[in-house]
Structure 1
Amino acid sequence: MSRTSRKDTQRLSRRQFLGATAGTAIAAIATGAGPRAVVLSGQIPVVAGGGGAPELTLVNGRIRTMDARNTIASAVSIRNGRFVTVGDAVPAPAPDTRVIDLGGRTVVPGIIEGHIHSVSLANRPGYHTILENTTSIREIQETLAARRPSVPEGQWITSMGGWHENQWSEHRLPTRRELDDAVPDRPVLLYERFTGPCATNSLGKAFFDAADAAPPLHPNVVRVNVAGNGLIAEAGFTGGGPSATALYYLRRLQTFEDKKRSTLDAMSYSASVGLTAHLDQVLFPTPGPLHPNQVLSNLDQYRMYDSWLSLHREGKTIIRLQMNFLHNQSDPELPELKERLRNQFQFFGDDMMMTGSIGEWAAPLASGAVWAEAQRLVAQAGWRNENSVQNLAGLTQVVEAYEKVNKEFDITNLRWAVHHVPAVTHDLLTRLRALGCGVQMAAFRWVTSNDPKVVVGAPFRTILDHGIQAGIHGDGVHIAPLNPWLQMYFATTGLNSFGDPV
């Protein structure tokens, strides 16, 4: 089979897969509310005594309960945010009961994402547009054009992170002319992954050209230098650059109401693909005001959740969010981590929004003795702990450190974990399991893989066959899509975005 035909076949298969799963996913959330429970966002007010007819009934479906018997029911009824009947028959509906005929469609419980950076999606400037499900320049144009009617005049249409050029048949960013053809009367900016590059249309180029010609707004601003075809050069991860400056200009335009709108958009999209609970791993912390050197994965860690918190207070959140604490200091004194463990509660909040624990790491893995001391401090405080590794050497380092701290402080009941695990051995997995630890397998590398000879992790079958507690994650929304069905497709087929088995 030719490379072209493999890609065409793969693209069709992925669409069919998504159409049969995400398109029919309905989130089923049990809140555990009682008669005297506080009303939480995402919950229905509880009726005294818990009686009354169901508020929602689903009938004529294939409802996968995911219980121990793998029960598939045809109908369920829900009252006060809880399932009251599950089976083939439901109570007679009251006049105000909403009845949904599923027409034979499949329903699954809401999916939990164990490693995501959704707070970044909630802070996207402009009117963020989801491009992670597109497969060609033409589909990009259609998606941007469909977004255009809801965007006020003078406002930006953006798409930042979550997609990669490998997903598109052309394997490149769209040009200025192609973006103009889709949206000629609103500025457009597409920003790839953490640091760019970017693509913009003619109105966007005019904006950045004017900014380049004006006195700099900050000493670290550099020229954006939009090319004739609309492309903007990639920034450095720490030193800024053209794409980072372009991002800085758009972030400066954001109001708090804009951030709340982006947060609602993020929650709505997540719910639409069946992802209803997030363990957020924060962003690379850069406290203080906006800075031109900040890339898409940088924000003030003390303020980045403000819009989500505001919506939670207003009772408007529909996605469950647990927020971990990432610590990126290499200072041997570990001042921020020590204050966090001294003054913060883990797992503090309610069913819809709460603090988490330490993750994606307590200190950079490469900081050696500093990182090791951070593990000891977390264990001493009795906190849950997570570390992400990029290779077998990293996993070995983590396992040895976990074993060492366990000799001083028992961690076997704290549910520590290791994330990504692109390479493993049976011995390391066994040693982790003996410590009560689990692993989160990275299922997102299909999107950046372009060489079928290079195996990209995680080794899903090896880990599942071992028996250690395990899950998969997508690590959206910078380097990979948020859509969980794309990650599941890779984990079950082993096919990357080119249609090649990796």
Structure 2
Amino acid sequence: MRSEATGRRDVTGRRLGSDPAQRPADLVLRGGAVYRGGEDGAPTFDEALAVTEGRIVAVGSEREVERLAGSATVVVDVEGRTVVPGLIDSHLHLVRAGLTWRDEIRWDEVPSLDEALSLLRSEADRRPPGSWLRVVGGWHPGQFAELRMPTREELTERFPKNPVYVQLLYEEAVLNDAGMLGCGIVPGAEDPPGGTFARDPATGEPTGIVRGMGAFNHCLSRMPSTHPGDQVGGIRDLMRELNGLGLTGAVDVGGLGLPPENYEPLFALWRAGGTTLRTRLYVGAQTRDRECEELTGWMRHARQGFGDGWLRYVGIGEIIVFGCHDLEGLTGFPADDASLRELERVVREVAVRGWPLHMHAVLDETASAVLDVWDRVAREHPIADLRWSLAHAEPISAANLDRVRALGCGIAVQDRLVYRAADSARAWGDGAVRHGPPLRDILDRGIPLGAGTDATRVASPNPWVSLWWLVTGKTLDGGPRRVPEQRLDRVRALDAYTVGSAWFSLEEHERGRLDESMAADLAVLSDDYFTVDDDALPGLRSELTLVDGHAVHATGPFAGL
């Protein structure tokens, strides 16, 4: 069981007072290309590293490191593979996804619609007759050879006895006939608040396409609830899948539909010692017009920093005030004066209590309004040391970047534009998308930059897709490609996904690099991240992932460690 024990601990949860370097290493990795991280220019590599009590105690040549091996040391030859710091997703909806992970079918990186439908068939055959089949985001028709999404007709033909729901990001969803019936989408049905049921213009009958958050929630709420045991198991399964991608940590940013009781499966897994991913929690508002009450309640009852090296409360976010939440950034900034006053009331309370803050802000006009509020609060209660940050911010202006820097805040970016560049270009203009997010401008100003995915509905959780996007600026939807001057080289992109992301949980001095005294969180890769072709980046995987010096994922030659 992993839980806090008495005595002083560092931020990874380890008790202070012992010197791991004074005893033989528990583990030595040798024969590799070890990238420490945090470098400028071309990467340099060491041959080996040693781990004792979950910490790195040596990095260097094989000869230097093997001096620390004793009779009980496990020595692993990685046979020339690249070893990198464990990846950290700085903006991921882990809990929300994990609660229903075992009930969903994922189409992430599936190369064709035919294969995607075959996955549905396999699940239909495995599950009890009449079971719901649901695909909830994380894919785009641009990844399919057919370049299209499935139709109601083919879903009905292939799965006449299963209700099927297939959601494309937050854009739209399609149901088959059984799914429409199960959701009450029948002739004469009224649109739900905040959503629409598309209708045939000739007959007025529903077409099986639904759009808007209200419509998505209407459909998802009609599906059977996941058993509590499967909620715990789903979070564990998702963590293990992320470990297989080389992830050792994630910042969970809450999201819609996550009241306090929905965190219980995560805490149950933690209490049972089943977590395999360092998880840092930002908790947000859930109810319009009750935001201050809810967030004050979180801060009153959940001590900032409570937890251990595996699970810890960090801050407030990403939803602060619903009237200031610009969703996908495609319909303009919604805030009125009352919402902005409420935002100021809430964030002042966050500042007074000394909590980190992470706020959703896609549009530059949203960023302007938010930064106006933060400026006023900072005059009374300095925030530079509190780790406040904006999320998304793809079209942010140079003027607002200067304001972010002056306030001492950070920016977390995600690969949403892999899937929404074309839509965003129609809303913001081609130029904003081609220069967004302005990655080099952020780094050149010294603004802390974290990388992530915003998975699992608006993107795949695969970090290598996000790194491909950071490096190449390419998209899957035919939208504009980011200009070369705003792309990152592979070193800077990886650093954003490791030590850069650790900044958002106040841990950049504890993890995210493979230096002596840092946490032994790392990934041994299936191919060399630094030299593979650009378009091979999304296919990278980890063959061995360590968290706290222990294997949480091991395959191929490392199976059994």
For Structure 1 versus Structure 2, the TM-score category normalised by the shorter chain is 0.7 to 0.9
Question: What are the equivalent positions in structure 2 for 1:376-391 lying under 5 Å apart?
Answer: 376-391=348-363
Letter matched to residue 478 of structure 1: R
The aligned residue for residue 302 of structure 1 is 260
SS of equivalent residue, structure 1 residue 73: coil
Deviation track 1:176-223 (CA, whole Å, cap 9, x = no partner) reads: 7877999999876533334741356xxxx6576578699xxxxx9999
Farther off after superposition, 111-120 or 417-426:
417-426
SS of equivalent residue, structure 1 residue 321: strand
Distance 2:12 2:445 in 1: 40
**1:120 is matched with which residue: 69, 93, 96?**
96
Aligned: 1:460 with 2:435: no
Aligned: 1:63 with 2:34: yes
1:223 to 1:344, Cα distance in 2 relative to 1, 3 A: closer
The aligned residue for residue 324 of structure 1 is 282
**2:59 is matched with which residue: 78, 86, 89?**
86
Deviation at 1:402, TM superposition (A): 1.4
Letter matched to residue 56 of structure 2: F
The aligned residue for residue 316 of structure 2 is 358
**1:501 is matched with which residue: 481, 484, 487?**
481
1:314 to 1:333, Cα distance in 2 relative to 1, 3 A: closer
**1:104 is matched with which residue: 60, 66, 80?**
80
Letter matched to residue 33 of structure 2: R
1:61 to 1:184, Cα distance in 2 relative to 1, 3 A: farther
Letter matched to residue 91 of structure 1: E
The aligned residue for residue 22 of structure 1 is none
Does the CA contact (< 8 Å) of 2:35 and 2:45 recur in 1? Answer: yes
Farther off after superposition, 373-382 or 332-341:
332-341
Question: What are the equivalent positions in structure 2 for 1:172-191 lying under 5 Å apart?
Answer: 172-175=148-151, 189-191=165-167
1:329 to 1:182, Cα distance in 2 relative to 1, 3 A: closer
Deviation at 1:246, TM superposition (A): 4.1
Does the CA contact (< 8 Å) of 1:430 and 1:468 recur in 2? Answer: no
**1:335 is matched with which residue: 293, 318, 332?**
293
Deviation at 1:431, TM superposition (A): 2.5
The aligned residue for residue 77 of structure 1 is 50
TM-score (norm 1): 0.74
Question: What are the equivalent positions in structure 2 for 1:150-169 lying under 5 Å apart?
Answer: 151=126, 153-154=128-129, 158-169=134-145
Deviation at 1:405, TM superposition (A): 0.9
Question: What are the equivalent positions in structure 2 for 1:315-464 lying under 5 Å apart?
Answer: 315-329=273-287, 331=289, 334-364=292-322, 365=324, 366=335, 367-450=339-422, 454=430, 455-456=432-433, 457-464=436-443
1:406 to 1:482, Cα distance in 2 relative to 1, 3 A: same
Deviation at 1:267, TM superposition (A): 0.4
Give RMSD over aligned pairs.
4.3
1:48 to 1:86, Cα distance in 2 relative to 1, 3 A: closer
Question: What are the equivalent positions in structure 2 for 1:260-275 lying under 5 Å apart?
Answer: 260-275=232-247
Distance 2:208 2:242 in 1: 29
Deviation track 1:292-344 (CA, whole Å, cap 9, x = no partner) reads: xxxxxxx3411222221111111110011111121255538832233333333
Does the CA contact (< 8 Å) of 2:368 and 2:400 recur in 1? Answer: yes
Does the CA contact (< 8 Å) of 2:101 and 2:238 recur in 1? Answer: no
Q: Which structure is higher in RCO with an 8 Å CA cutoff and minimum separation 6?
A: 2
Does the CA contact (< 8 Å) of 2:93 and 2:255 recur in 1? Answer: yes
Farther off after superposition, 476-485 or 361-370:
361-370
The aligned residue for residue 488 of structure 1 is 467
TM-score (norm 2): 0.67
Does the CA contact (< 8 Å) of 2:279 and 2:312 recur in 1? Answer: yes
Deviation track 1:74-98 (CA, whole Å, cap 9, x = no partner) reads: 2223333222332222438667655
Distance 2:70 2:5 in 1: 22
Identity %: 26
